[in-house]
Structure 1
Amino acid sequence: MTFETLASDFYDFESALSDQEKEAVAKLRAWLESEVRPIIGDYWERAEFPKQIVKPLADLGVLSYAWDETKPFENSALFRGFLAVELARVDASVGTFVGVQNGLATGSISICGSKEQREEWIPKLAAGEVIGAFGLTEPLSGSDSAQGLRTTAKRDGDSWVLNGQKRWIGNATFSDITIIWAKDVEDGQVKGFIVPTSTPGYEATKIEGKISLRAVQNADITLTDVVVPESLRLQNANSFKDTAKVLRATRADVAWAAVGTAIGAYEAAVKYSQERIQFGKPIASHQLIQDLLVKSLGNITASIAMVKRVSEMQEAGTLRDEHAALAKAFCTSRMRETVAWCREALGGNGIVLDYQAARYFADAEALYSYEGTREMNTLIVGRAITGKAAFV
């Protein structure tokens, strides 16, 4: 398959990919354009997820590449970043589904699970045979999850009993397992559990009325005396520091997804500007429209440069929390700015789904807030550069 660099990749960052990686990106790009873009607006409007795309995504390797147990060929963090871009530039909800399935759920097991747990669950998640969710955020605990987690885990012989509530849990209305993070009542430390959603006492209720990522199936979860065997406790998750290892990696993924969302809006605006006639000529020939497009491209280019370096640090094993936090804060802020400019370029047509910019504009709000708000990520970076914590 011929690989063509996106016009929005103005400095040709994708040229750093290997030939095999370029071929995989091209296959995903072609499939998303032919199978997802034509249908996703309708699913977004109906607040439903197109579950029929899970198997093809798995077949394309999208859920497999990051894990030693399942990756079809050696690949780079940069390559996996560009996969996240491709998903989000077509639809951020689809990108978020993959981020939860492949990053948060599978990542929790990969980073915090035992060898036996990794061998059992990662292949099933990578094949799309098992759908995963990640249960950390709670109704009264979001940014303060490190200290404020209220869901409890109590040891009872060879099992654990979980009680509590979770909120904003993506994929949770149809997941087969949810990674539940709970505070051990004995030692006060946060621990992780692989919880089959068929377990008695586990209940997930879809959150309605969202204005962003409408195709993502977020849920409120209630855990009432949910009994989980010790074999399903993540064996290497013994404190919130271990939870943070998962978040460090996935925050970088969100930064890449923010780039993809900005690119999706930018490409919609460029296309519209070339087709929309006002004052007898395409609006692309007007200086003010070109200014909006150039500012948008500048944001995109700067963001790609940052996340490219983050991916290189991931490969080298030198990525720290503050590095991922700065990327997430910066790229989502630039994304938010960019989608607003691109929506503006469409005028009134920028608020209807027909021209796609409206979807990116709305979805950017969720990416801006989840996986750590800009403010919380700023405090992580601020602590690193000053040596002073300012969280409270």
Structure 2
Amino acid sequence: MNKLLHKPFKAFTIYALLILAASIPVYYYVVDFIWNKELDEHNQIIKERIETRMTTIRMPEQKLDTIIKFWNIMQPGTTMVPVAVPLQKDSIYTVIRENQHGDKTELDRFRGLAAPITIADKHYLLTVETNVEETDETLVAIALVTFAFFSLLVIGFIVLNKRIARRIWQPFQNTLEKLKTFDLATHNDITFEKSDIEEFETLNQTLTKLIDKNITVYQLQKRFIENASHELQTPLAVLKSKADLLLQQKNITSEQLEILNAFNIPLSRVTRINKNLLLLAKIENHQFENTEANDLSAVVSESLEMLSDYSVDKGIQPEFYPLETITVSCNRSLLEILINNLLTNAIRHNNVNGKLIIEIKDNALSVTNSGIDPLRSGELFRRFSVSSSETTNSGLGLSIVKEICNRYHWDIIYDFDQNKHRFTVRF
């Protein structure tokens, strides 16, 4: 995963590299054009100098021919050849041929000037040629220097990009860190640092409004659930007691008994839901603040003994393996609730005469039970997500387990393998 700032920097680097690559042929043609122009001027000056000197000479024709012959030998790059019909105007050309004047014979490029010249009323063709191979060396030098400066430019971009990004994006990083540590259930206000960058300041103001609104809604919902649960507790208890009294009547008919049983089942579920909602509200309100050191093995043993009748009814014989002594620092009531809910869930979703294995090792508690199909892992810890056919199941047991784990920053993991459900709590 790439960082935001790396994407434009990568694009800028590629763009600069393409411009550099495109500039090399441009450099070549520009340098070659300037160089050829200078050589043309140089050849023209030589031609004018030779013409001036030769036309001022007054000597016999035989001696002039001898001088021109020696001139052609002693002046490499210039030649004068007599012609019957002179050229009408100067001619500029480029030729590639062997360079006979170097240490070794090789092909070189020459810029030439062919011009008519008249000496002692005789017409000659003056040819002046200059080696232009130096342009290639100049181009290589320019390319190397350009590449060196490009490398320095890229290195500078990297250093400046990191330093500027660290300073400019620091307000964003501060905001991000505050959002990472923010917990809606802790009742802690979140305050973002002021920034002189308009976009970040607008972001902080928008986030502050959004968080304040969500905190208000969350508090109202939580208060409603808590108040509703408290208000329902008494009438539910009265209904439960009245139903029990009716069931104890001696003159009750079988039809009435069936109706009362049908009424008692959803009443029991509503009672459990109300009780668990109250418990969730208390956990979220941090009403279990007392912390003590708890022996995990002892708490598990107590829970197994308390649920022994429930497991016996299903023909389940729990297997407990305390392979490690773990002391958990937390509220004992919450730890008991967590373990009871995990064991109850394991018994409820177990097969008749199935396996129930509890292990304590590697600083973790794992509860494994037999099963046929995996539970819906995406909905396990959601409130009122029921994965059991039991009508008394409130759908809040694992939600309470998850809330307790969040409270103490424990990890809870579910997996299904070889027809076995496994819940693991890592402390």
TM-score category of the 2 structures, normalised to the smaller one: under 0.3
Q: Which TM-score applies when normalising by structure 2?
A: 0.21
Q: Which TM-score applies when normalising by structure 1?
A: 0.23
| Higher RCO structure (Cα 8 Å, ≥6 apart) | 1
